[in-house]
Amino acid sequence: MRRDGVSEIVESPVADRGDLRLRRLGYGDLPSVISIERRSFPTPWSLAMFVLELSKPSGICLAAEDSEGLVAYLVCARYDDVWHLMNVAVRPERRRRGIATDLIERLFEEAGPGARFTLEVRVSNSPAIEMYRRFGFRSAGRRRRYYHDNGEDALIMWLEAAKGASVA
């Protein structure tokens, strides 16, 4: 356990996902992260944004990789007693295979029992909203015109106490 209360993440295989492994995201992963980010979002994060989040000792940044390299990542920041799930992305050709679910489950394990989470998601992103709901996230309002590329609203979601349980 580190001084900030977040345990070190040890590389580990994921059951039933072939050679997929989860580990801490590192600076060396950023070229692959930027590639996935640009293919995933109309307004991708900049390199500087990722560097900033990786530099925060209290955050949890995870990578999913296989024999071909990085396939997904997750960035979560800690603000006082709330975790803000800021970014989750999977290579487009690897989506809908449970990789984001694996990353979020690992996030819950690392954050610990009783952790509270919040996130924003595009109101049009039905697959992501459904996944978050399966984890127990609930809608808590909207941020009007949150996304600058098209003025789309963001749905604010909260999970009051992550139990670390798998998605049903």
Tokens of 166: 């798998």
Query: Backbone phi, then psi, for 152, in 5-degree steps?
Result: -65, 145
Query: Is 160 an active-site residue?
Result: no
Q: C-alpha 136: how far from its chain's center?
A: 15
What is the pTM for the complete model shown? 0.86
Active-site annotation holder among 11, 68, 120, 160: 120
The residue from 73, 130, 132, 160 that is catalytic is 132
Mark whether 132 is an active-site residue: yes
Tens-level pLDDT at each residue, the chain (168 residues): 343 444 445 556 554 456 899 999 999 999 999 999 999 999 999 999 999 999 999 999 999 999 999 999 999 999 999 999 999 999 999 999 999 999 999 999 999 999 999 999 999 999 999 999 999 999 999 999 999 889 999 999 999 976 654 444
